[in-house]
Structure 1
Amino acid sequence: MTPLKNRLFYGLGLAALAGASLRHRVGGYRNPTDFSPDDWPRAIAHVVDIVLDWRKHLDTRHGAKNLAGLDILELGPGATLGTGVLLVGLGARSYHAIDAFDLAGRTPPGFYRALAEAELPPVFDRARILWAVDALERGRTDPVGYVVTPEFDIACAAGGRTFDLLLSNAAFEHFEDIEHVIAQLAAVARPGATLLAGVDFQTHTRGIRATDPNSIYRFSPSLYRSLGFPGQPNRRRPRDYLEALQRHGWTNAECRPVDVADAVYQAWSTAGLYEPYRDDAADMNVLTGIVLAEKP
């Protein structure tokens, strides 16, 4: 039954990929989440979860990592700059976000006021959050700044700034050339800086994701590229990130698995993947993970 099941999911995955390609080519890249950007309570809960998750992983590595006084860069903040407002609420001196798509530019100012007034965990300093929101409402770029660069020229968008902490959440898998991005980050990272990137290695097509999360790895490179679209997952695996980080001078690099495929799914699905992804070194059990590294 396994070959038949894999042929079935190859067809389902191909149809899902073709549909996603058509949708993005016609409508463009508009919503990075699986909920409406108008759903403010859910959007607020989403950014709170992201920031607390970053803080948890930083604490694990550094022991109660203090963000006070840090200059922070986020790549691909998505639909809002809510993570930046909350990071300022944790003591960050500044937050600068860079994206290739102007998704956060569509966010109504009222969202940030709702975030400031929401019930938040006590770890956040509400006075600092209000300071950041007031600055955004006045059109200031300090302490929260945002630059859109379709070429994703990080050094140019940083405008001469350097950073203590470099973050991303479910963004790196959308970068076509992670090697180039990591090289650019090395140029704007201060000595001792930390890189923390949450990476979603799975298919992003919602119709197939729950039953066949590794669907995108079933196809040859030529077929996958033929159905490409802006932001298509790059299919790079944990080892690709670690090797690229090492080549560009980052140290203590690791990929911490977060969501892991169960053994039953792996047992039947692995034989249906494109050959390079059947190798144990591809770590196909890792569905999402946290990539961490430090700049010496």
Structure 2
Amino acid sequence: MNNFIDVIKEGLLRDRQQQSRDLIGNPRGGDVLDPEVKVFKETIIAALEGNSNKPSYRGGFYSFYQINQLLRLSEKYPGIVRNKRILDFGCGATRPVAASIILYLLGARSTMAIDLEAPFDPAGIAVAEYGNILSVISGLSPIELHHVNADLSLCRSRAADFDLSALLGGDLRGGLARNVGYKLSRYQDLSEGERKFDLMISNSVFEHVADLEDVLTCARQSIASDGFIFAGVDFRDHRWYTDTAKWSFWQYLIDDGDHQPGYINKIRYSAMNELIQRAGFRILEAHTVRDAMSPDFEAGLLPKYRAMSREDKETTECLYLLKPA
């Protein structure tokens, strides 16, 4: 481990010398805006050596958590990642390629991340992904490699496909490996070839998609016959994340409100299951989280929600694994 960190230090020194000549003001790159990432860039080795639970910033730790959930399932469903075409549906604006990069390092044939929202602070994301890659290939990340029969030698060989100097210089797109794609697009608007996948991953996105059944019907036409969809769905009222004291998990069941019209589609658990099945998928796994609703709160539900089953009322999230029916 210490020898490998020494190699990283030597590489960083070369990168910084190169930056002093070429990368400062490089039109391919950009200024890092996020102050936490600025600190990370200046103290990257200390971050790798002393902060291994969260070495990457800008959402990297949650990406590790999400990937580990997938990797644990892969023991039951072998071959879910290695040599597969992976599509990240709704990759977000603050960590758009984190999951794609990790899965590529673990042996995916190719990855494509898509979203409708442009990335915030692309230069900061580029530097953070530099940290993501180093944390994985140095063995300091919490990624559970053993679930997919991957090892650090594989991750390090795949890391050679990235332009690490470009990432450290703030150039996100220029630093990505050729088979790690990133597009601002609806899924249905991708080319026929780009829509094809062996594994789709999606984290807290399905609840935001107004035309979700159309998306999944389109995906059903493009998924490999032995492919999977791995999706986490959050059934909570998302206003709760902005003010936990003011809002509850189930606030819209009382006031039918939202951040803005259409921010979430308000599809509850059983209706989500029915939609998934209508689109042509079989639910292999559905791991739910339920939170108890008090009788007083339940008494205030709008009539159209009051008649729901207790399971629908209390299911606040679900981790799905889907397969073509």
Instruction: Verify: 1:67 aligned to 2:95, yes or no.
Output: no
Q: TM-score, normalised by structure 1?
A: 0.73
Match of 2:252 among 207, 216, 231: 216
Aligned equivalents of 1:212 and 1:183: distance in 2? 33
Q: How do 1:236-247 residues align onto structure 2 when only pairs under 5 Å count?
A: 236-247=267-278
Uncovered stretches (5+) of structure 2, i.e. residues with no partner: 1-33, 38-55, 146-150, 165-171
% identical equivalent positions: 22
- Partner of 1:283, secondary structure, is helix
Residue 184 to residue 266, structure 1, CA distance change in 2 (3 Å): farther
Aligned to 1:101: 117
Alpha-carbon distance between aligned partners in 2 of 1:209 and 1:58, rounded to the nearest angstrom: 35
Shift of residue 273, structure 1, vs aligned partner: 2.0
Q: 1:90 and 1:207, CA in 2 relative to 1: closer, same or farther beyond 3 A? A: same
Q: How far 1:129 moved relative to its partner?
A: 5.2
Provide, for residues 243-289 of structure 1, a one-character-per-residue CA deviation record: whole Å limited to 9, x for no partner: 122212212355320x3203xx3433222222232211661211111
- The corresponding residue for 2:64 is 48
Deviation of 1:170 after TM superposition, in Å, equals 0.9
5 Å matches for 1:17-56?
38=36, 40-41=56-57, 43-56=59-72
One-letter code of the match for 1:184?
C
Contact 1:112–1:133 at 8 Å: present in 2 too? no
Contact 1:242 1:255 in 2 (8 A): no
SS state at 2:201 partner: strand
Residue 260 of structure 2, aligned match among 228, 231, 237 = 228
**How far off is 1:106 after superposition?**
2.5
Which SS does the other structure have where 1:91 is aligned? coil
Residue number in structure 2 paired with 1:201: 235
Once residues 38 and 293 of structure 1 are traced to their aligned partners in structure 2, the CA distance between those partners, rounded to angstroms, is: 37
Deviates more, 1:111-120 or 1:267-276: 267-276
Which residues in structure 2 correspond to 1:51-130 (within 5 Å)? 51-60=67-76, 62=77, 64-78=78-92, 79-80=94-95, 81-103=97-119, 106-108=122-124, 109-118=126-135, 119-121=140-142, 123=145, 125=152, 126-128=155-157, 130=159
- Normalised by the length of structure 2, the TM-score is 0.67
Aligned mates of 2:183, 2:192 — CA distance in 1: 10
Higher relative contact order (CA 8 A, sep 6+): 1
Residues 104 and 208 from structure 1, CA distance in 2 versus in 1: closer, same or farther, beyond 3 angstroms?
closer
SS of structure 1 residue aligned to 2:69: helix
Residue identity in the other structure for 1:120: S
Cα distance, 1:103 vs structure 2: 2.5
Q: State the partner residue of 1:146.
A: 182
Tell me the secondary structure at the aligned position of residue 193 of structure 2. Answer: coil
Instruction: Confirm or deny: 8 A CA contact 1:82 1:115 kept in the other structure.
Output: yes
Q: Is the 8 A contact 1:261 1:287 kept in 2?
A: yes
Is contact 2:58-2:128 (8 Å) kept?
no
Name the residue aligned to 1:177. Answer: 211
The separation in 2 between residues aligned to 1:201 and 1:168, in whole angstroms, is 14
Does residue 292 of the first structure (1) align with residue 321 of the second (2)? Answer: yes
CA distance 1:44–1:228, shift in 2 (3 Å): closer
User: Structure 1: any 5+ residue segments left out of the alignment?
Assistant: 1-35
Flag the 1:55–1:280 CA change in 2: closer, same or farther, 3 A.
same
Deviation sequence 1:124-173 (CA, Å, 0-9, x none): 64315523543866355632101102xx2x14325513111111001111
Task: Measure, in 2, the Cα distance between the counterparts of 1:168 and 1:195.
Answer: 8
Q: What CA distance in whole angstroms lies between the structure 2 residues aligned with 1:172 and 1:53?
A: 18
Find the structure with the greater CA-based Rg: 2
1:218 Cα shift?
1.6
Residues 235 and 282 of structure 1: is their aligned pair in 2 closer, same or farther, counting only changes over 3 Å? Answer: farther
CA pair 159-117 structure 1, distance change in 2 beyond 3 A: same
Choose the corresponding residue for 1:270, options 275, 298, 301: 298
Q: Distance in 2 between matches of 1:90 and 1:179?
A: 31
